[in-house]
Structure 1
Amino acid sequence: MKKTFFILFIFCFLVTFISCSNKPKRSRKPVSTIVLIPNQKEYRINNPISVQIKTNLKNGNIEKIELFYENELITTEKSLDFTIELKTIAHLGPNSLKVIATKTDGVNNTRYKTFSVLSDINPKINDFEVIKEYNHSVDFFTEGLLMHNGFLYESTGQNGASAIHKINLNSGSILLKKDLDKKYFGEGITILNDKIYQLTYTSKKGFVYNLSDFALIDSFQINSAQGWGLTNDGEYLIMSDGTNKLTWIDPETYIPKKDLYVASNKMHQNNVNELEYIDGSIFANIWMKNYIIEIDAESGKILSTTDLSDLYGMFSSDFPIDVLNGIALNESTGNLLVTGKWWPVMFEIKLKESE
């Protein structure tokens, strides 16, 4: 009896083993790794980079390995190990690579890698000369500043004190004013096609007004968490959001068109604030810093920096002052107007390259 049970046990075991052995093996995903050569923390915009792809295949056969750079397919290979050179880097800031390895049975796997790109030029260092001083209201927490057809336009921040002002530059008199609802903190402004566009700080909302009377005509959503500076290149709005990114926005649909990342040859420039577009360059304040930068509007490269720390010694105030903020082109002279939050004075300055 025991012998019969033993034989039956062995029979069942063999049947089960053979059955399991005949089951098809699970197709394993291919696993690719992306290695940059040279392997370093950051890269320069015009320096070539080699991308090495190595794919580990547990079973089956590879059908294709696709490599994408900034979501564009740059090569398709069958080899498990290959290297390709990126001769042209797309832009400053974060750049992305993606590899999709696909087996002949359709099983695939996707891997990603990002790398950071800096500028390849050393920014020029500018000096400045004060040409003229103008009165500036100590009540103005300056967020946006510009000249248009001989008049100064200034936007102010703080909940309950946010407004847009049209000002006579020489006398300082306010010719027109538009208050924001106290729930909004006003930010940068720009004028395009006889309209004033205004950002708000954290409400993710912008407003559009008639230039002639400041009547509200539209509003739009801001796709960034915060709105900071605003300017335009004659076609698109250009917005900063407190990071190192500038965003071009369609002024009619409010759809973002492109992003540009700001960097020097040493660092990514965060806290980009108030903006002024001038002949292919964007001049910008940097929040909590006493210098302004000039940005190439095509590449995001920082072309020059100007330290304005000496301005603080040129005035006194009986009231608290805040940071340097506000850049406007004086159309009649070609010089810059600069001021700060709650500053009692606005300076007209002429930039000149340091000797």
Structure 2
Amino acid sequence: MFKSLTIIFLSALAISCGSSSAEKKKSLSVKTNSENHVFTIGNTMDFSLNNPKNYDLGEVTFSFDGKPVSSSVDLSNIRLGEHQLVAQVNLDGEPETIQQTITVMNDMAPKVYTFNIVNEYPHDITSYTQGLEFYKGELYESTGQYGESKLRKVDYKTGEVIQNYDLPKEYFAEGLTVMNDKVYQLTWKRGTGFVYDANSFEKLSSFKYNESKEGWGICNDGQVLYKSDGTEKIWTLNPETLMEESYVQAYHSKGKVVELNELEWVEGKIYSNRWQKNGVAIINPVNGAVEGVIDFTPLHNKVTQHPKLDVLNGIAYNPETKTLFVTGKRWDKLFEVEIVEK
């Protein structure tokens, strides 16, 4: 009899204590005016806290990407991609956060572009091209693979290598860009980039990736550097410290564009090829919107076919001719093209 009373007493005690804070938190959620929390840029997001069991939560406050908001957010001037909407509540005397990921996509499909070939030039068939850029009329190239990685200055009309620097064998070189007489070259998985004198190729310094894990492509607008890491993110690097300060996410009207690789700054836009693809995305550097795509598929068949032939990689804009120069990994041709809307 005593044992039965003890069990009844303990059961009653458990019930009287009610739900734990963790259980209460599970019943709470952030509700928005989109069922799947996906919005289009230009819309307004309305939100509230869903509290189906009417727990006493004290004052509920919201933040969007860390900034206080009330009950709605205008999505007209916002970066595309994922954002965090957070509700701050009080559960059993302790502060708790309820978080919801919000996705903002572009409001229109990308324009489709094709190209006309202006010229074809010879290109070193052994070069595993990773980065390509014109600077003061000269073409700089970064090549990859362990034991083969190089920094080069090339006569693009003849394919002759004017200047060459071999990286240590432990580095797999990736993209490059040139700004203020300095070459910035990324490496893949070592989390390290190098800075060289653009004229002598003397190594001046190195820098670390503080947020992203890998180095893929890099370009500049004359003031700041932009870096890809193989995801949908394009990072902005401080030109003085080379620290990653912020990023945009490449999105079009259907979703994100991942594996962004070689980057090139072209008249206010970022051109990026995708790894293992023959297309180039035209990206708005302010909000990450993929505004256009260029299909370079036919170029692959115009180069010498051989066992080590790889994908399109290498985009260089020549501001003097206002044309784009495109090649690939172990391609024997460099194509000068003009871009036209399809």
For residues 59-97 of structure 1, what are the alpha-carbon distances to aligned partners after superposition, in whole Å with 9 as ceiling and x for unaligned?
7x543111111111113xxxxxxxx23222632111101
1:42 is displaced (CA, Å) by 3.0
Structure 2, unpaired ranges of 5+: none
Alignment of 1:63-142 (within 5 A): 63-75=58-70, 84-88=71-75, 90-102=78-90, 106-142=93-129
Deviation at 1:315, TM superposition (A): 2.8
User: Counterpart of 2:299 in 1: which secondary structure?
Assistant: helix
For 1:69 and 1:267, locate their aligned partners in 2 and report how far apart those are by CA, in whole Å. Answer: 21
Name 2:238's counterpart in structure 1. 250
* Structure with greater Cα Rg: 1
User: Offset at 1:57?
Assistant: 6.9
CA contact (8 A) 2:37 2:101 kept: no
- Whether the 8 Å contact between 1:261 and 1:300 is mirrored in structure 2 is yes
In 2, Cα distance between equivalents of 1:52 and 1:64:
13
Map of 1:81 onto structure 2: none
TM-score of the superposition, structure 1-length normalised? Answer: 0.86
Q: CA deviation digits over 1:167-215, x for unaligned, max 9?
A: 1121221111111100000000001111101100000111111111000
- The residue that corresponds to 2:299 in the other structure is 311
Offset of 1:36 from its aligned partner?
A: 2.0
Q: Which runs of 5+ in 1 are unaligned?
A: 1-8, 76-83
Contact 2:272 2:280 in 1 (8 A): yes
For the residues of structure 2 that align with 1:310 and 1:135, how far apart are their CA atoms? 18
Matches within 5 A, 1:296-335: 296-318=284-306, 320-335=308-323
Cα distance between partner residues in 1 of 2:94 and 2:146 = 56
C-alpha deviation, 1:251, in angstroms: 2.3
Q: Is the 2:209–2:244 contact (alpha carbons within 8 Å) kept by the matching residues of 1?
A: no
Q: Is the 8 A contact 1:327 1:337 kept in 2?
A: yes
Residues 1:238 and 2:233 aligned together? no
Secondary structure (helix, strand or coil) at the match of 1:181 reads coil
Tell whether the 8 Å contact from 1:27 to 1:107 is kept in structure 2 after alignment. Answer: no
2:138 to 126, 135, 151: 151
Quote the Cα distance in structure 2 between the aligned partners of 1:52 and 1:188.
44
State the TM-score, normalized to the length of structure 2.
0.89
Query: Pairwise mapping of residues 334-353 of structure 1 onto structure 2 (< 5 A)?
Result: 334-353=322-341
Alpha-carbon deviations, 1:307-338, whole Å to 9, x = none? 11111232324452100000001222100000
SS in 2 for 1:312: helix
Per-residue deviation, 1:37: 1.7
Rounded to whole Å, the distance in 2 between the matches of 1:62 and 1:39 is 24
Q: C-alpha separation between the residues in 2 aligned to 1:33 and 1:318?
A: 56
Q: Name the SS for the 2:300 alignment partner.
A: helix
C-alpha separation in 2, matches of 1:273 and 1:130: 23
2:291, 2:52 → 1: CA distance? 45
Equivalent pairs counted in the alignment come to 326
Decide whether aligned partners of structure 1 residues 74 and 344 sit closer, same or farther in structure 2, where only a CA change above 3 A counts.
Answer: same
Match of 2:45 in 1: 49
